[in-house]
Amino acid sequence: MAAAAAALGGLGLLRARLRLAAAAAATFAALGRTGHRAPPLRGGVAAAALPSAGRSYGSQAKEEEELRVRYLDDEHKGIVVLGLNRSHAKNALSKNLVKMMSKAVDALKSDKKVRTVVFRSEVPGIFCAGADLKERAKMHSSEVSSFVSKARATINELANLPVPTIAAIDGTALGGGLELALACDIRVAASSAKMGLVETKLAIIPGAGGTQRLPRTIGVSLAKELIFSARIVDGEEAKSIGLISHVVEQNEAGDAAYRRALALAREFLPQGPVAMRVAKLAINQGMEVDLVTGLAIEEACYAQTIPTKDRIEGLLAFKEKRPPRYKGE
């Protein structure tokens, strides 16, 4: 009887793992069915060449835009840059900015022409100072709860984008600003940048994913230490503890991290678009389960790449010794 019970229990666990794997496959299939080009965001999207060392986005961008969304072209085609631009408030997350971010992310997630998203600041010396506390002080308590929920949902949407995301931290990223960066797949920072989850100084806790993503990034004990102490670290220390992937010396233009992020994004462009999306899905879902279930998820995701036109093109390009010409199919 005991053996039979154990067998039934094992069968139930296997079924649960298979359901997770099937869910991963279904998630990818859903992504593939919504591959239309998203319409430009009003007053925000400008398809133009790579920015110069300066911070201008060109004639199509307006100074009052709090979020600048830009589709790059030429050798950077497929890279989309989201630029925070609230200089008067140190890019603090206001209700309007969060709304704009949500609309931008919603447009990007269904656009198969997007290959990589880079999140940066348009304001020298600052990435994002966190929530707009001046605006919050004027809110009713019920409004605060609603705002935090919306900010959390928007940052989760960013984390769930099907393409690689890179945070280019050229300045201070505190509180919600660091939570925003933590939602990206990869973080690059200038050595002079300052980062920290400082909410405990205000007698609150990180509310947009910081208590969950920071320990998953640098480990539980160290994450507790940083949150309990509200400590701020620079780029060098952030690199040493695994908070960021790359640290660079800041340049005169103040955009060294952004330039490094673009270089990383260019490395992603030649790879198969479908494979990139499926790889991200397999990694993200696999990290939340045990290894056996994770391997089942990987198997289900791998199966999604076998019938694609991109896979046939990749093998043909290898045989003909030429660069592949992927179409994301």
CA distances from 316 to 189, 272, 323, 329 (A): 39, 13, 10, 15
Task: Quote the CA–CA distance of 78 and 60 in Å, as a whole number.
Answer: 19
Q: Assess whether 242 carries a catalytic annotation.
A: no
The sign of the dihedral angle between the CA atoms of 279, 181, 53, 84 is positive
* Residue in 131, 189, 265, 275 annotated catalytic: 131
CA distances from 64 to 87, 292, 317 (A): 10, 51, 46
Q: Assess whether 9 carries a catalytic annotation.
A: no
* Residue in 130, 171, 175, 176 annotated catalytic: 176
Task: Quote the CA–CA distance of 241 and 100 in Å, as a whole number.
Answer: 32
Give strand ranges (E) for the chain: 67-71, 79-84, 116-121, 126-128, 165-169, 172-174, 186-190, 194-196, 233-234, 246-248
Q: Assess whether 298 carries a catalytic annotation.
A: no
* Residue in 199, 207, 256, 314 annotated catalytic: 199
Q: Assess whether 179 carries a catalytic annotation.
A: yes
117, β-bridge pairs: 80, 165
Radius of gyration of the chain (CA): 21
* Residue in 65, 179, 190, 257 annotated catalytic: 179
Task: Quote the CA–CA distance of 160 and 175 in Å, as a whole number.
Answer: 20
Catalytic residue numbers?
131, 176, 179, 199
